[in-house]
Amino acid sequence: MAKTRPGRKDVDSYTIRGTSKIVRAGDCVLMRPSDTSKPPYVARVEKIEQDNRSNVKVRVRWYYRPEESIGGRRQFHGAKELFLSDHYDVQSAHTIEGKCVVHSFKNYTKLENVGAEDYYCRFEYKAATGAFTPDRVAVYCKCEMPYNPDDLMVQCEGCKDWYHPACMGMTIEEAKKLDHFVCSECSSDDDMKKPQATFSASLGADGKVICCIHFQIITTVLITYCSHYMTKALIFY
C-alpha cells in the first residue's frame, strides 16, 4: 500500500460526479480518456485520497485492452477481455465516469447475460516488457487456439475437444442444426450423420453467445457449455 502524501488523508469512498454511485478501494471503474473518440479506460481503485482543499485523487492499477498491449489484439481475445497490468497511476477522481465489473474468466463464461459494464480478465500483463502471466493457456480445435468466449464452438462426442465450425468446414447456421458432432479424427465416413436437432442460445447485451449447443441425443438432453477446462495442448504467450 502506497503511503499517503503530506497534506492528504485517506478517505473510504468517493461519489461519482453527477451520480449516486459510490466508489471504494477495490472497485473497478471507467475513466475518461483525454481523447474522447476512444473508449473509457478501465482501472482498479487501490486507494482514495483527499487534500485540504477537498480535491480527491485515486491511485489506480490499469487494465489494458488487448490492442493497447505490445503484442496487440489476437484472434482469441474476446471483445470484453482485459489484462491486469503492473502499471499504477494517480488520477483525479473527477475523471471517473462510472463503475464496471471485471470478472474472472471462469465466472464470465457462466454469465447468463453480459452487460455493458461486464468485462473479464485471465492474464496479468507487464507493461514494460509485454510479458503475460500465465504465459501458457489451453488450446482447442484444429487451429490450436485458446478459447474465445465470443465464438460459438461445438464439442466432439468422441475426443471431447471443442471445434470452431469454420475449422470443420461448417457455417454457424449448420453448426446450430447439429444434433451431435464427431470430428473427422474420431469418425469414419459410415458413421458421419447429421440428424435434425434443436438449438438454444442466449445473447448478452453485446450480442455474445452465452451458451453453446443444446444437444438432444435420443432421450437424453445434454446442455453443454464452452469450458476452458478440457486441455489438449498449451500455447505459449
- Rounded to 10 degrees, what is the CA torsion of 154, 155, 161, 166? -20
pLDDT at residue number 29? 98
Domains and CATH numbers, the chain: 7-137 (2.30.30.490), 139-189+206-224 (3.30.40.10)
Q: Tell me: the pLDDT tens digits for 164-194?
A: 999 999 999 999 998 889 998 887 544 544 4
Q: Tell me: the pLDDT tens digits for 117-164?
A: 999 999 999 999 999 999 889 999 999 999 999 999 999 999 999 999
49 contacts 42 by C-beta, under 8 angstroms: no
DSSP state of 168: G
Assign 3-class secondary structure to 163-227: ECHHHHCCCHHHHHCCCCCCCCCCCCHHHCCCCCCCCCCCECCCCCECCCCEEEECCEEEECCCC
In this structure, what C-alpha cell is assigned to residue 57? 485523487
Identify the sign of the CA torsion 27, 110, 229, 125: negative
pLDDT class for 214, splitting at 50, 70, 90? very low
The helix/strand/coil state of 152 is: coil
